[in-house]
């Protein structure tokens, strides 16, 4: 794909053999992808994004049904997946449950395995979000149809990581040689766990900025370094921003601290405001998986490198690509 | 449009230039409409109603996505909008939250502005219901796509007012010269606030019947009178009904009274029952935005001028018209 | 339809005259069906199942809207109906309420009659689930469009019974001459109440296995025996299984027992495990309406006669058939 001025101007459909790379597969973890698989997702996303922008009515998934099972609330991810399926001409069946309101079969004590066994006989593809780590893997065991993990507790969020990569490619044209900083709660954030694994394929330098209690798990850093990627860790946001082409911000939740005094001491050190942006490397791209609360101040919104809303929008073409690829439906 | 026995028998599509009047616009307040814009909505609604009755499968919004965001429960309005979008061949993504169950991004503290910024990148048109007055205006600021206010607290409910006007036109053939009475809680009712503004374009006489504590806000009455409309106020329902061609009933909620003794004293004076209908002007049309509890007794249902269920049904063609007009999609 | 080896190999569309048998009708109770009507549903279900398996994109309900009103949670039945409507090319509007979260019009005190009156003007066909016995009949009175009862409290669940019959036909090729055992809480289970009525048309022998407090209501047994069907009652599961071609399992809920000591005494006598299956008649088909908790142990899942997941999957073609037949839309 050719990318210019943040717009997909030319986006060719990948060749048939490459389109088949993900056919029939589950999307469970960012660790499962080869570089070529990631590239096919990016190219297919660009191909669909252009078609939607051109107002084409797609029928790639016509007659197909996607089960959208959100056992934990996540409006953004759910609506993004459902929009993607609709834009492909397919239909959606939805379970959107509040964490506070356990309803229906789950309330009657049914196992996730049994629930998925049944939904697998209704739908052609299954999207699962759960507060339980490993839930998507369990769902994939139960289902013959492809399962897409859209967040499993403190586990992974691979489709978010895919759209993050797509966003950097669109914003910067390339990833190779860039310096990417991940900021915030790197210990519990499934988004950054998935993202750092995908980044490891692109030859970029990675800086991790987190308070001491919320550092990236050592085994994930080790995995990534094994692939030859340079990972630096610091708690100095300003200095990291000065060297970064991309700054990926995540929230630090008060509840994560055992010692609240510790939280009060560090919380202001990880907020991205106008001052940080002004001191940052010129052209820096600011990203965030959203929702944001106060970790990026609203004065940053008007900065042209503030990419977090565009990033959320990229969820639609990327999820269109993933859905159509696992079903072998890219026309 | 030509109407016989309350049925649209002939309905021509408005000319292209008039179809473009609402293209790209938000629908936020009844005050925003010119008479010609209201007429275009009425004509387009009739055009669609006839097509649906004739069993035509429409594709006017094929490939398009409507976000149906109900941050306050409203089954009737939500289902009516979603049916409208489906009948136009479009797709729907839904957030339907209970007032008691704050879920997802809202629960995580995200602003409405941020939520809408993102949904605007998924969907082509956004319908918003909120318990907060002004929420739709805030949403419209965040979105590039058209936003339709489907109720913002004590604010407005312009699409309801549009279907109310459409109902009177279908029931009576014309509005000019009619006497229309609005009854009930005129202080808090967003429906009647929006309706009286639309009525002001049609050269009818308006009577307001409400208990003293629940009268129509003076500034709204003043706005309407500035347009040369005669507005009379009374608390005598029986006399108003004797002079009215249309009686628009809304509920009086006990909770609105500071003094419960006051509520007990007046509550029976504003109930529409068989006795009121018999004493009313011959052919009077009884309307209600629904749901009704006991403010219209069930014995009234069999009266042929009882139009409240037909009125609810009119929500579908009117909302089809509004959705297709703001997107410039009427084919 | 010709059924071989659990696969629909040939499925012809019923003749026009027979397709019209259910046109315009409500589906309220298993007691309403003639044998020929049941047969038409079976044949149409097989016809649709084959088309879906062959990957055909159906448009039989294109442009039509199904209201999916679940005033009590039931993910399985709801998703199955919604999938059915989607597979027919139609659209869906949904109300899915938790029993704990009464929202919207219901919360505002509106009657079911009023709610259905309105939805009837939006949608072309209405599916209703309610915790109240008789709710579907009340809905059918309010609606001009067909109403499908998808469970009304302790009342009936006729579409479940239809898919149960379809499952036995697919698993065994025929029902005539078979011995079918219904097991569990036969007193409160609406599923078995509906199923035994449909079974009465097929010339099979019926065994009922239940604890003393939870036996099938005598009036239902009497109704069925009036049709010449032999019904035997026992509390000996093992012996019944040894004579049965089909074992239909339902759950026994602790809450149903006034005397908990009684529950503890009997509960293990009605669990289907590997031991029961091994001692059962060769080739026995094990069914369950799901969700199951522990009344069938997971070691039974790998037994090839364990049909309960396939049974759930059969809900889609059977509900496609019912929806298209009542609307006269089978193409």
> How many distinct helices (H) and strands (E) make up chain B?
14, 11
Enzyme catalytic residues of B: 76-77, 108, 129, 157
C63, C92, C114 ranked by CB distance to B290: nearest: C114
Instruction: Say whether C159-312 and C2-155+314-326 share the same fold.
Output: yes
pLDDT at B140 over 90: yes
Cβ-contact C186, C213 below 8 angstroms: no
- Best mutation target among C68, C71, C93 (most B Cβ atoms within 10 Å) is C93
Q: What is the pLDDT of residue C7?
A: 57
Query: Counting one residue from B and one from C, how many pairs have CB atoms under 8 Å apart?
Result: 72
Q: What is the pLDDT of residue C3?
A: 66
Q: In angstroms, rounded to a whole number, what is the distance separating the alpha carbons of residues A317 and A322?
A: 9
Cβ-contact B91, B119 below 8 angstroms: no
Q: In angstroms, rounded to a whole number, what is the distance separating the alpha carbons of residues A94 and A103?
A: 13
Q: What is the pLDDT of residue A262?
A: 84
With pLDDT > 70 as the criterion, what percentage of chain A qualifies? 94
Sheet holding C179-183, edge to edge: C231-234, C205-209, C179-183, C246-249, C285-287
Q: Which CATH architecture has domain B159-312?
A: 3-Layer(aba) Sandwich (3.40)
A193 among known catalytic residues: no
ipTM value:
0.95
pLDDT single digits (tens) C225-279? 999 999 999 999 999 999 999 999 999 888 788 888 888 888 888 999 999 999 9
Cβ-contact B326, B28 below 8 angstroms: no
pLDDT single digits (tens) A176-185? 999 999 999 9
Is the bond preceding residue B202 a cis peptide, omega within 30 degrees?
Answer: no
With pLDDT > 70 as the criterion, what percentage of chain C qualifies? 94
Q: What is the pLDDT of residue B8?
A: 83
Dihedral (CA of A235, A239, A241, A243) sign: negative
Kindly report the CATH number that applies to the domain delimited by B2-158+313-326. 3.40.50.1370
pLDDT at B21 over 70: yes
How far B296 CA lies from chain A's nearest CA (Å)?
35
Q: What is the pLDDT of residue B105?
A: 47
Residue position matching structure tokens 């935005």 = B289
Assigned CATH class of C2-155+314-326 = alpha beta
Write down the catalytic residue from A44, A64, A77, A181: A77
Exposure on the CB side of residue B10, measured as CA atoms within 13 A: 1
Q: What is the pLDDT of residue C6?
A: 57
Look at phi and psi of residue B15 and say left if phi exceeds 0, alpha if psi is from -120 to 50, else beta.
Answer: beta
pLDDT band (50, 70, 90) for residue B108: low
Q: What is the pLDDT of residue A10?
A: 65
Q: In angstroms, rounded to a whole number, what is the distance separating the alpha carbons of residues B7 and A323?
A: 45
Residue A93: list chain C partners with CB under 8 A: 79, 82-83, 86
Is the bond preceding residue B291 a cis peptide, omega within 30 degrees?
Answer: yes
Q: What is the pLDDT of residue A257?
A: 82
Residue of C nearest to A59 (CA): C57
pLDDT at B15 over 90: yes
pLDDT single digits (tens) A50-90? 999 999 999 999 999 999 999 988 999 999 999 999 999 99
Helix (H) or strand (E) segment spanning residue B150: strand B147-152
Q: What is the pLDDT of residue C9?
A: 60
Contacts of A144 (CB under 8 A, 6+ apart): A120
Q: What is the pLDDT of residue A1?
A: 66
pLDDT at B104 over 60: no
**For C78-94, what is the mean pLDDT?**
98
Q: What is the pLDDT of residue B97?
A: 78
Q: What beta strand segments (E) does chain A contain?
A: 2-4, 7-10, 65-70, 91-96, 125-130, 147-152, 179-183, 205-209, 231-234, 246-249, 285-287
Asked if C108's CB is within 8 angstroms of B312's CB, the reply is: no
pLDDT at C312 over 80: yes
pLDDT single digits (tens) B186-232? 999 999 999 999 999 999 999 999 999 899 999 999 999 999 999 99
Beta bridge partners of B129: B70
Asked if B56's CB is within 8 angstroms of C63's CB, the reply is: yes
Q: In angstroms, rounded to a whole number, what is the distance separating the alpha carbons of residues B105 and B115?
A: 8
A188 among known catalytic residues: no
A213 versus A313: the higher-pLDDT residue is A313
Asked if B76's CB is within 8 angstroms of C121's CB, the reply is: no
B55, B80, B99 ranked by CB distance to C122: nearest: B80
Look at phi and psi of residue B197 and say left if phi exceeds 0, alpha if psi is from -120 to 50, else beta.
Answer: alpha
pLDDT single digits (tens) A107-135? 457 899 999 999 999 999 999 999 999 99
Residue A92: list chain C partners with CB under 8 A: 86
Is the bond preceding residue C291 a cis peptide, omega within 30 degrees?
Answer: yes
CA distances from C190 to C133, C138, C204, C219 (A): 10, 18, 20, 14
Residue of C nearest to B100 (CA): C101
Q: What is the pLDDT of residue C100?
A: 45
Asked if B101's CB is within 8 angstroms of A100's CB, the reply is: yes
C73, C87, C292 ranked by CB distance to A104: nearest: C73
pLDDT single digits (tens) C117-155? 999 999 999 999 999 999 999 999 999 999 999 999 888
Q: Where along chain A do its domains lie?
A: 9-156+315-326, 159-312
pLDDT single digits (tens) B314-330? 999 999 999 999 999 99
Q: What is the pLDDT of residue B98?
A: 59
How far C155 CA lies from chain B's nearest CA (Å)?
26
pLDDT band (50, 70, 90) for residue C4: low
pLDDT single digits (tens) A219-231? 999 999 999 999 9
Phi, psi (rounded to 5 degrees) for B3: -125, 130
pLDDT single digits (tens) A264-314? 888 888 999 999 999 999 999 999 999 998 899 999 999 999 999 999 999
Per-residue tokens: A286: 């600011």
Phi, psi (rounded to 5 degrees) for B244: -105, 145
Query: Counting one residue from A and one from B, how many pairs have CB atoms under 8 Å apart?
Result: 71
Residue C61: list chain B partners with CB under 8 A: none
Asked if C121's CB is within 8 angstroms of B313's CB, the reply is: yes
How far is C-alpha B63 from the geometric centre of its chain's CA atoms?
27
pLDDT at A101 over 50: no
Q: What is the pLDDT of residue A98?
A: 59
**For A251-259, what is the mean pLDDT?**
84
**For B236-257, what is the mean pLDDT?**
93
Residue B271 burial by CB count (10 A; 0-12/13-18/19+): exposed, middle or buried?
middle
Kindly report the CATH number that applies to the domain delimited by A9-156+315-326. 3.40.50.1370
In this prediction the pTM is 0.96
Residue C215 DSSP symbol: P
Q: Helix or strand or coil: residue B272? A: strand
Asked if B105's CB is within 8 angstroms of A82's CB, the reply is: no
Q: What is the pLDDT of residue A103?
A: 41
Asked if B117's CB is within 8 angstroms of A75's CB, the reply is: no
pLDDT at A99 over 50: no
Asked if C105's CB is within 8 angstroms of B75's CB, the reply is: yes
């Amino acid at each position: 794909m050719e990318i210019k001025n943040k717009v997909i101007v030319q986006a060719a459909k990948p060749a048939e053999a490459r389109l088949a790379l993900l056919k029939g597969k589950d999307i469970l973890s960012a660790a499962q992808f080869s570089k070529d698989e990631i590239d096919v997702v990016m190219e297919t996303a660009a191909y669909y994004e252009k078609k939607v922008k051109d107002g084409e009515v797609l029928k790639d998934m016509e007659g197909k049904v996607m089960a959208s099972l959100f056992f934990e609330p996540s409006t953004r991810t759910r609506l993004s997946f459902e929009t993607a399926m609709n834009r492909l001409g397919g239909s959606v069946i939805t379970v959107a449950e509040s964490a506070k309101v356990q309803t229906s079969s789950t309330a009657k004590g049914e196992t996730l395995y049994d629930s998925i066994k049944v939904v697998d006989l209704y739908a052609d593809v299954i999207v699962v979000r759960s507060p339980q780590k490993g839930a998507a893997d369990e769902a994939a065991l139960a289902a013959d149809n492809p399962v897409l993990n859209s967040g499993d507790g403190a586990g992974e969020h691979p489709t978010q990581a895919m759209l993050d990569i797509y966003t950097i490619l669109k914003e910067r044209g390339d990833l190779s040689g860039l310096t990417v900083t991940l900021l915030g709660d790197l210990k519990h954030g499934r988004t950054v766990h998935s993202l750092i694994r995908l980044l490891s394929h692109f030859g970029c330098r990675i800086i991790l900025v987190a308070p001491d209690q919320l550092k990236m798990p050592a085994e994930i850093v080790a995995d990534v370094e094994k692939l030859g990627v340079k990972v630096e860790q610091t708690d100095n946001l300003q200095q990291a921003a000065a060297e970064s082409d991309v700054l990926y911000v995540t929230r630090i939740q008060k509840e994560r601290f055992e010692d609240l005094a510790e939280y009060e001491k560090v919380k202001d050190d990880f907020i991205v405001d106008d001052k940080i942006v002004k001191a940052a490397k010129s052209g820096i791209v600011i990203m965030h998986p959203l929702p944001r609360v106060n970790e990026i101040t609203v004065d940053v919104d008007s900065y042209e490198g503030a990419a977090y809303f565009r990033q959320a929008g990229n969820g639609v073409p990327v999820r269109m690509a993933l859905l159509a690829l696992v079903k072998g439906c890219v026309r």
